[in-house]
């Protein structure tokens, strides 16, 4: 187990030559012990921030409040943090102020889990006062010290606990888990932004299904700072589907599948994603998949393109509605919806009427033919239409206005369905006919 990074080795050697102690710490040591790829390298030292800055030509005071100086080398940038203790925790979050100390073990003691509380010296010897290696060998995730206190000091650690247990395939040690159950209500002190960031890492990790099960078992979702209008317990009703999530490669489709299981209207899901501080673009991409599914279900259930509920099982009609949906909601949403539907071992059984019929009758057909139907569309967006709004206005001798958008959309949908050739002259003729 080694950390093979010339820049980091140089930082350690330089600090040591300056008469200070310096170690690799935290996640990089854990990942080295597990022989996993190492992401960022954190370094801890007995040198005070000023002393660190004096040791190197180029540094940046990136986190002085926490005792962190970034050392800038040709090989990369390295965060060097002075051994520290955390002063009073306030509001169940980590404190802004710190107290510098001279002892490595004390620095390791403030860390969350034993596997994150190991250090490694220049000679690649592991310093492991809390037996993190033993816990890792046993597949156990355990708090450093009294778990109840540790979660009480910083409630975010409870989410980190579930994230690490799921992404590293560990069992949460019994007392750590007991403490988490007891302290779960403290999660309400943690900003939604940080909650989202942890959830996102669980969802993008190798075992999102396990993360969801742990989240539910912990009841953490009942104690968010902002209550979300989502019936999380439905995840249990669709337990078999949770394992399908990891088959999806994109984060957004993973979220879309997970949220689809909650049988909540797309509009409500959109609000929940906003509360979780997802970016506008991510919110649209995720909720857009659910919105497309809802729209399709409504159309097939006696909407403008259908005559009977049985429409959902009529391939020709389904193909038509599917293509219009792809035009209106975008090709990306259509492909993402197919990704999600195809990831599921069988169509979901849901309670809501029109969605239930959609799931039962339309989904098997979409899973089989949906991609081919998209592929055979001659065009899917206004950009691809062989005529512009101005050209239409000119050809018709009319002033541009709201009529134009509607007309173009009409032309686009007919061209997308193959009812009209996507060629300038044909489109202009169709425009003339439409306005007669």
Please tell me whether residue 37 binds ligand ATP under the rule CB under 6 A. Answer: no
CA 298 to chain centre: 29
Q: By CB under 6 A, name the one of 11, 42, 46, 287 that touches ligand ATP.
A: 42
Please tell me whether residue 198 binds ligand ATP under the rule CB under 6 A. Answer: no
Distance CA 258, CA 244 (A): 10
Nearer to ligand ATP, 166 or 422 (CB): 166
Nearer to ligand ATP, 160 or 189 (CB): 160
- What tokens appear for 312 in the block? 């959902």
Instruction: List binders of ligand ATP among 143-182 (CB under 6 A).
Output: 154, 156-157, 160
**Contact by Cβ (8 Å): 334, 322:** yes
Nearer to Mg ion, 80 or 336 (CB): 80
Calculate Rg over the CA atoms of the chain.
28
Nearest approach in angstroms of CB 25 to ligand ATP is: 7
Nearer to ligand ATP, 156 or 350 (CB): 156
Please, what is the end-to-end C-alpha distance for the chain in angstroms?
Answer: 78
Choosing among Mg ion, ligand ATP, none, which partner's interface includes residue 228 (Cβ < 5 to 8 Å by kind)? none
**Contact by Cβ (8 Å): 121, 100:** no
Which has the closest alpha carbon to 327: 410, 262, 230, 216?
410
Candidate segments 33-41, 155-163, 168-176, 284-292, binder of Mg ion by CB under 5 A: 33-41
Backbone torsions φ then ψ of 190, nearest 5 degrees: -95, 130
Choosing among ligand ATP, Mg ion, none, which partner's interface includes residue 112 (Cβ < 5 to 8 Å by kind)? ligand ATP
Pairing of strands 119-120, 98-100: unpaired
Please tell me whether residue 111 binds ligand ATP under the rule CB under 6 A. Answer: yes
Please tell me whether residue 27 binds Mg ion under the rule CB under 5 A. Answer: yes
DSSP 46: S
In our burial notation (b when 16+ CB lie closer than 10 A, e otherwise), range 39-56 reads: eebbbbbbbbbebbbebb
Candidate segments 111-119, 206-214, 283-291, 405-413, binder of ligand ATP by CB under 6 A: 111-119
User: Using CB under 5 A as the criterion, which residues of the chain lie in contact with Mg ion when the complex forms?
Assistant: 27, 40
User: Using CB under 6 A as the criterion, which residues of the chain lie in contact with ligand ATP when the complex forms?
Assistant: 26-27, 39, 42, 94, 111-112, 116-117, 154, 156-157, 160
């Amino acid at each position: 187990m080694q950390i093979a990074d010339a820049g980091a080795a140089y930082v350690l050697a330089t600090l040591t030559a300056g008469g200070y102690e310096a170690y690799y710490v935290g996640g990089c040591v854990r990942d080295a012990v597990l022989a996993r790829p190492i992401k960022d390298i954190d370094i801890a030292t007995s040198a005070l921030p000023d002393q660190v800055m004096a040791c190197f030509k180029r540094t940046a005071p990136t986190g002085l409040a926490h005792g962190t100086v970034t050392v800038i080398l040709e090989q990369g940038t390295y965060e060097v943090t002075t051994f520290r203790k955390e002063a009073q925790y306030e509001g169940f979050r980590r404190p802004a102020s710190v107290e510098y100390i001279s002892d490595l073990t004390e620095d390791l003691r403030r860390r969350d889990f034993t596997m994150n509380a190991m250090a490694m010296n220049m000679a690649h010897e592991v310093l492991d006062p809390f037996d993190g290696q033993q816990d890792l060998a046993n597949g156990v995730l355990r708090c450093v010290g009294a778990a109840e206190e540790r979660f009480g000091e910083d409630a975010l650690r409870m989410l980190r606990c579930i994230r690490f247990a799921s992404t590293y395939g560990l069992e949460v040690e019994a007392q750590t888990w007991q403490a988490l159950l007891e302290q779960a209500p403290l999660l309400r002190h943690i900003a939604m932004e940080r909650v989202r960031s942890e959830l996102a890492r669980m969802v993008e990790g190798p075992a999102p299904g396990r993360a969801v099960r742990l989240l539910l078992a912990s009841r953490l979702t009942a104690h968010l700072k902002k209550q979300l209008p989502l019936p999380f317990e439905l995840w249990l009703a669709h337990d078999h589907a949770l394992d399908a999530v990891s088959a999806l490669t994109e984060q957004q489709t993973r979220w879309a599948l997970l949220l689809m299981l909650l049988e909540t209207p797309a509009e409500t899901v959109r609000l929940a994603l906003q509360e979780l501080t997802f970016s506008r673009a991510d919110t649209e991409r995720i909720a857009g998949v659910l919105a497309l599914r809802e729209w399709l279900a409504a159309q097939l259930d006696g909407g403008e393109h259908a005559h009977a509920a049985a429409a959902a099982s009529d391939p020709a009609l389904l193909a038509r509605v599917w293509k219009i949906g792809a035009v209106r909601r975008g090709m990306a949403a259509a492909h993402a919806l197919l990704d999600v539907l195809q990831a599921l071992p069988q169509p979901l059984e849901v309670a809501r009427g029109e969605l239930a019929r959609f799931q039962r009758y339309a989904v098997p057909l979409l899973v089989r033919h949906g991609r081919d139907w998209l592929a055979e569309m001659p065009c899917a967006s206004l950009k691809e239409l062989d005529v512009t709004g101005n050209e239409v206005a000119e050809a018709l001798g009319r002033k541009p206005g709201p009529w134009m958008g509607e007309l173009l959309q009409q032309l686009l949908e007919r061209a997308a369905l193959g009812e009209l050739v996507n060629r300038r002259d044909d489109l202009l003729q169709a425009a003339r006919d439409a306005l007669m």
